[in-house]
Structure 1
């Protein structure tokens, strides 16, 4: 799948962020569950809606609760909006806006239902993680939602879309579109990224707000780092000469945070270096709640480069 580079509408986005955070903080006041957990869950599902054809288009509140979960699996009326009968059939649906209806297409009702569900487990971090696992049944979903929540907590806002080019512009570098090219070392495979050639030690920076999800050695990529952003895009940095001092797994980073340096590590056991010219291999991946795949980072790199970040 090729993901387009789209221009944003700042005024529309600002209004959307304002509306969403007001709803999340309203639920925090009603439940004592910190707003960033609602925001993290909503953003996870919002991202799924952008890449899945079996889900509706994203809305102000994008958490999707299927009819059977909302009304109750044994409820003969799967379109039930009566809070009393929904409760009787152990459905999640509830009235969040005071209109005496439990409408699964109403954002406030959906958030109220999520709040009610989470409260059944407790308001502390560990119990919220348990609740999320039992709801989604997927470790990856839980880790992404908690990562989103940690980013929102750290920066105190929903707009975390700023990007930066991975190398500082003051250094010499060169790159071209090599995504999908054949690679031979270690078996037949395709190149899942763009190579940015530069001198040894040129600083490598995070291109986005995100969570350091992976750090270590890979026989193909050498010393490498993986960072997942708020849009559930996984940014992969490989062939590094090493890592930035004190960079830790689980660390929250922002655009421009130095994470390592350009190197030529890889194609062998830990410490192997010098089998190719120094460069940064930069890849981008998406997760749709079921699987993860690579997409071409080149147009995004060109856009960030032109923006002068």
Structure 2
């Protein structure tokens, strides 16, 4: 089995080699692989290949050709005859969908049919996925990898400075009444008005502005395709905007009590940060309990400060 560090090292070698060969920046290959990895984690029917070294999933029918009587076919000539897309990337005479080099080479060939500019790569991704959400996520991931220059974007931070006066408990799933019957999709962290709110991850700001439930809120997409939702803020870091990249521990706003009404509404509840997490499965998103993650990040940060 691969460790995460070993995977990242192997990925970087493969992505760099393919980038040199094709002229496509390495971070696009990294972004496609990472997007596929996040989708494979929630779609159990997409069986992991290559001991999860390369996570790009191409179905047997697409690889070998829908009319190919041998769906395990690895003969490049036969696959081409049946209009499959599988290619022999390492020149061993076999087009094997469990071979990471063959898979990456096949994806690279598809991209090169359109070109190497960002606009053309996005067009190629649209033809590959036929899903605008997939194209958006891969573009976001590519920009993260490009900006931070590393595949290791796993660091996390607690959203409130540990020196602050704060408290929280597990409230995910509790009923909420304002605006109609609904459940609480997050954890409330009570803190003094104006306490800094920090990004919990490396990510891209996807949404920033007013929401009648969350007041002034920010939504950040991380490299694991998780959406981090920060609500009821009293204000934003004015250096940030939608599309900005952030790092763990970076101040993005301040605790407030905004929300439950038209823009500017505030004071209907005690100051606190509502923090939520949502996972993307390719077509939609759903919330999950952030409390265990908050406890882990809080404990890790306390240990690291000792």
Contact kept in structure 1, 2:133 and 2:283, CA below 8 Å: no
1:99 corresponding residue in structure 2: 92
1:36 corresponding residue in structure 2: 27
The alignment status of 1:139 with 2:132, answered yes or no, reads yes
Q: Distance in 1 between matches of 2:123 and 2:257?
A: 41
* TM score, norm. by length of structure 1: 0.94
1:127 corresponding residue in structure 2: 120
Give the CA deviation at 1:37.
0.5
Q: Distance in 2 between matches of 1:83 and 1:290?
A: 33
Output the aligned Cα RMSD.
1.4
1:115 corresponding residue in structure 2: 108
* TM score, norm. by length of structure 2: 0.95
Residue from 13, 31, 48 that aligns with 1:22? 13
The alignment status of 1:220 with 2:213, answered yes or no, reads yes
**Gapped runs of 5+ residues in structure 2?**
none
The alignment status of 1:88 with 2:87, answered yes or no, reads no
Correspondence list, 1:147-186, <5 A: 147-186=140-179
Residues 10-29 of structure 1 deviation map (CA, whole Å, 9 limit, x = unaligned): x9221111011111111111
2:39 corresponding residue in structure 1: 48
1:239 corresponding residue in structure 2: 232
Contact kept in structure 1, 2:257 and 2:269, CA below 8 Å: yes
Residues 81-122 of structure 1 deviation map (CA, whole Å, 9 limit, x = unaligned): 111232233321101112110001111100000000000010
The alignment status of 1:293 with 2:286, answered yes or no, reads yes
Q: Distance in 2 between matches of 1:195 and 1:113?
A: 46
Q: Distance in 2 between matches of 1:271 and 1:138?
A: 36
**Gapped runs of 5+ residues in structure 1?**
1-8
Q: Distance in 2 between matches of 1:114 and 1:12?
A: 25
Task: Give 3-state SS (helix, strand or coil) of 1:169's partner.
Answer: coil
Question: Quick check: 46-55 or 102-111, which moved more?
Answer: 46-55
Q: Distance in 1 between matches of 2:285 and 2:84?
A: 31
The alignment status of 1:57 with 2:48, answered yes or no, reads yes
Contact kept in structure 1, 2:216 and 2:259, CA below 8 Å: yes
